[in-house]
Structure 1
Amino acid sequence: MSYMESFLLALIQGLTEFLPISSSAHLILPSAILGWEDQGLAFDVAVHVGTLAAVVIYFRQEVIDLLSAFFASIFKGDRSKEAKLAWMIIIATIPAALFGLLMKDFIELYLRSAWVIATTTIVFGLLLWWADKRSSLTDDEYTADWKKSLFIGVSQALAMIPGTSRSGITMTAALHLGFTREAAARFSFLMSIPIILLAGGYLGLKLVTSGEPVHVGFLLTGIATSFVSAYVCIHYFLALINRIGMLPFVIYRLTLGVVLFGFLLLS
């Protein structure tokens, strides 16, 4: 890996982690199409640290409020809307955590291919368009109950399949339930905090036990680049999503899927 590759991969991770276009797809594709070597565990941990820091810092006040309300709900019986939302995020995290533990090896072995990515990019892009067109766009994230949260959580588990997009499928599910676009995005971003933390912790443990050499320069490049690009991405996505809707991302996904199929058929 060169510094240019580490910069571009971290930029891709930061820009696509929170957009409904699949970060995993964009990180797998350079190696599949351009012949780049796998970035390795250490770099995966680095970009997870960068994107996690970006979403936590961007939503720092919400994170503080949710954590305070969560502990107050346990020790003081708090029933505020922040306490409820904190519990709903936990409920929404459980399916993906369980699915990741049970199915990660199977997915790594059989589903991390460009053919799968091309297919899921198109299928889940069309599903996002359908949900956005049919949504009532009336509810905010605080209206989520355990049934809605579990539904969104199960959809998040599907994002283990490359090309699905974690943010894309959770926003699709939230829109289907009647969330506004901004509320769907905010709920998806807040849901990402525990799941990125779990994924990063899992990769970090694997890194420690693997003995894989660590290149500090590449890691710092990955952390800094993914942090800045993810932070900027979150800010402008939330600022623009109510005006532009999901259609630009649907078009991008369909175009990417068609191009991928063309490349695969011709290669």
Structure 2
Amino acid sequence: MPPETARLPLAHALALGALHGPAELVPVSSSAHVELIPRLLGWPSAALPADVRKAFAVALHAGTLAGLLVLVPLPSPGFAVVATAPAAAAGLLLEDPIERRLGGVRATAAGLVAGSALLVAADARGATGRGAAEAGPADALWLGAAQALALWPGLSRLGLTVAAARLRGFDRGAAFALGRQAGLPVVAGATGLKAWRLARRGVDPGLRAPFAAGAGAALAATLAAAPLRRVTSVWPPAAERVALAAVALAGLRRSPR
């Protein structure tokens, strides 16, 4: 690896871990925030090679997943399989094209705005009355399809699953609960696969400490953010996502990369 790959300050790794964990509990797209905020702040991590940034994302997801497994009830095996299959298939088939074509600031900002619009529109149109316990195979398939669409950076896996659940008639609290449960096996599978790939390649010794710090911060922040599980309003996260997209695009115009 080139020498610059070790330029991930410990303080920045801790800060990004502390951001990533809570962002998985609300529909704001944790990956978009971890990708865009270092660019906006001019942190060295924004200039790291893509493979190093992806490796660091694995560490953050691993820490966050450990916290989510404590906070979020596991879905039933049948629900998990159906809700995971579309995202797993799309990921295996489209991972490389998505990273090549949709990994830039503009595409991520577009995902943030589009995801916000879909979430707000679905919440406004969605009927209410169904509880999480009423979810069946057809509902799981809808949530799985939503998670497959969320491979586009910025759309937010939780945001799209909440939108899908609302359109299926679930009340807002149930939609959030189902969205978080449906996301657990997807996050676990993706993190496990990418961690296996990372283990085969190895990690630069200079990155091990910040990677571990980021994972630990993500775990601690996820657990500390447990009260966010009770938040079911869609407008604040939608507005924050649009604001981040606007700031990111403004920064790109000032300093194109």
TM-score tier by shorter-chain length is: 0.7 to 0.9
Closer, same or farther in 2 for the Cα pair 1:19/1:45, shift >3 Å?
Answer: same
Distance 1:193 1:171 in 2: 14
| Matched AA of 1:52 | L
Aligned Cα RMSD in Å? 1.8
8 Å CA contact 2:36–2:248 kept in 1: the answer is no
Distance 1:210 1:136 in 2: 48
Closer, same or farther in 2 for the Cα pair 1:219/1:254, shift >3 Å?
Answer: closer
| Matched AA of 1:217 | A
Shift of 1:259: 2.2
Secondary structure of 2:44's counterpart equals coil
Name which of 239, 242, 247 aligns with 2:235. 247
Shift of 1:232: 3.0
* Cross-structure match for 1:160: 151
Distance 1:87 1:231 in 2: 27
Residues 1:44 and 2:52 are matched in the alignment? no
State how 1:1-267 maps to structure 2 within 5 Å.
Answer: 1-33=8-40, 34-37=42-45, 38=48, 39-59=52-72, 62-63=73-74, 85-214=76-205, 215-233=207-225, 235-241=226-232, 245-267=233-255
| Matched AA of 1:155 | A
| Matched AA of 2:243 | T
Shift of 1:20: 0.7
| Matched AA of 1:264 | L
Instruction: Report the TM-score when normalising by structure 2.
Output: 0.86
Distance 1:175 1:200 in 2: 27
8 Å CA contact 2:143–2:182 kept in 1: the answer is no
Distance 1:36 1:100 in 2: 29
Closer, same or farther in 2 for the Cα pair 1:15/1:36, shift >3 Å?
Answer: farther
Shift of 1:261: 2.5
8 Å CA contact 2:27–2:157 kept in 1: the answer is yes
The alignment-based identity, stated in percent, is 29
Q: Which moved more, 1:90-99 or 1:33-42?
A: 33-42
Q: Which moved more, 1:130-139 or 1:108-117?
A: 130-139
Structure 2 unmatched runs, 5+: 1-7
8 Å CA contact 2:31–2:154 kept in 1: the answer is yes
Shift of 1:41: 5.0
Structure 1 unmatched runs, 5+: 67-84
Distance 1:170 1:196 in 2: 14
| Matched AA of 2:214 | G
Shift of 1:25: 0.7
Distance 1:198 1:143 in 2: 25
Shift of 1:92: 0.6
Q: Deviations over 1:42-70 (max 9, x none)?
A: 533321221111111123xx43xx5xxxx
Q: Which moved more, 1:105-114 or 1:249-258?
A: 249-258
